Amino acid sequence: MHFTLQKRNKTWMPAINLSIVGLVVYIMAYPVSSMDVLVHNQINVLNGTMVRIQCIFTSCYKMDVNKFAMNWTYQENTNETEEMFMTYKKGMMPLRTDRFSDRVQFVGNLEKNDLSITLSDVQLSDEGVYNCYVRNPPDRIQGHGIINMFVVTELPPPRDSTIAVAIGASVGGALALLILSMVVVKCIRRHKKQELISDEQKMEEEGKLDAEGGPEEGTKQL
């Protein structure tokens, strides 16, 4: 979330408070799935520099390297065909393409669910949509993160945003804890539900065995 602060206007605090409340209400109302992918929806990159494109996922299930799969793809825009340039199937496999050549590297950490990459010597032609797809069985949901990258030839002039950064960091930390708590609660509920289903199936099987064994016992008594 971006906050705009004006030094001459002393009424910015209520506006920020309202924005925070609105965002918290939205997060509480938004259903947290068992698979979530965290990315920056939009990034601006200076032409000729290197950029880290972040993709981190959360899941109720521990990653199994033999079943886990992910893909990085590129599109010039959302209407164009996706071009895969990195994949993971029992091992990370950068795919050499004419567009990126060897400029893409995996810099994430699978143990921390970090699938981030770097793109070096960014060109104007690299501008577009970057997709991070994640599949972590037995989770049935495929995660999908979308990053819109814009390449600029010069950076905007610096401005004094110390207060905005401090507030943003505090709010961001609180929201991160809130989202993590919601994911943990959902995972606990899912595991409890699976345990209940297993218990019900076990009781049904025992009932069937008792029903099948009844006539045999009666025959023996005769």
Give 8-26 pLDDT, tens digit per residue: 333 343 444 444 444 444 4
Sequential DSSP letters for 100-131:
TBT-EEE--BGGGTB--EEE-S--GGG-EEEE
58-67, 137-146, 159-168: least confident range: 159-168
pLDDT, the chain, mean: 75
Q: What is the pLDDT of residues 85-109, one digit of tens each?
A: 999 988 889 898 999 999 999 999 9
Q: Taking residues 116-126, what's their average pLDDT?
A: 97
SS3 93: strand
So what's the pLDDT on residue 52? Answer: 97
Which pLDDT belongs to residue 74? 98
Q: Classify the phi-psi angles of 191: left when phi > 0, otherwise alpha if psi is within -120 to 50, otherwise beta.
A: alpha
The H-assigned helical ranges of the chain are 12-29, 162-221
Indicate the pLDDT class of residue 84, thresholds 50, 70 and 90.
very high
Query: What pLDDT score was predicted for residue 162?
Result: 54
Lowest-pLDDT choice from 29-38, 149-158, 200-209: 200-209
What is the mean predicted confidence (pLDDT) over 123-131? 97
| 3-state SS, residue 201 | helix
Taking 60 as the threshold, does the pLDDT of residue 218 lie above it? no
> What's the pLDDT at 13?
38
Low-confidence winner among 55-59, 82-86, 181-185 (lowest mean pLDDT): 181-185
Q: Which helix (H) or strand (E) holds 52?
A: strand 51-53
The yes-or-no verdict on residue 212 having pLDDT over 80 is no
- The C-alpha atoms of residue 65 and residue 91 are separated, in whole angstroms, by 8
Which residues are registered as beta bridge partners of 47? none
pLDDT of residue 78: 85
Q: Mind listing the pLDDT tens digit for each residue in 169-183?
A: 555 566 556 666 666
Give the pLDDT band of residue 114 (cuts 50, 70, 90).
very high
Is the pLDDT assigned to residue 1 strictly greater than 70?
no
Cα–Cα distance for residue pair 220/213, rounded to 1 Å? 11
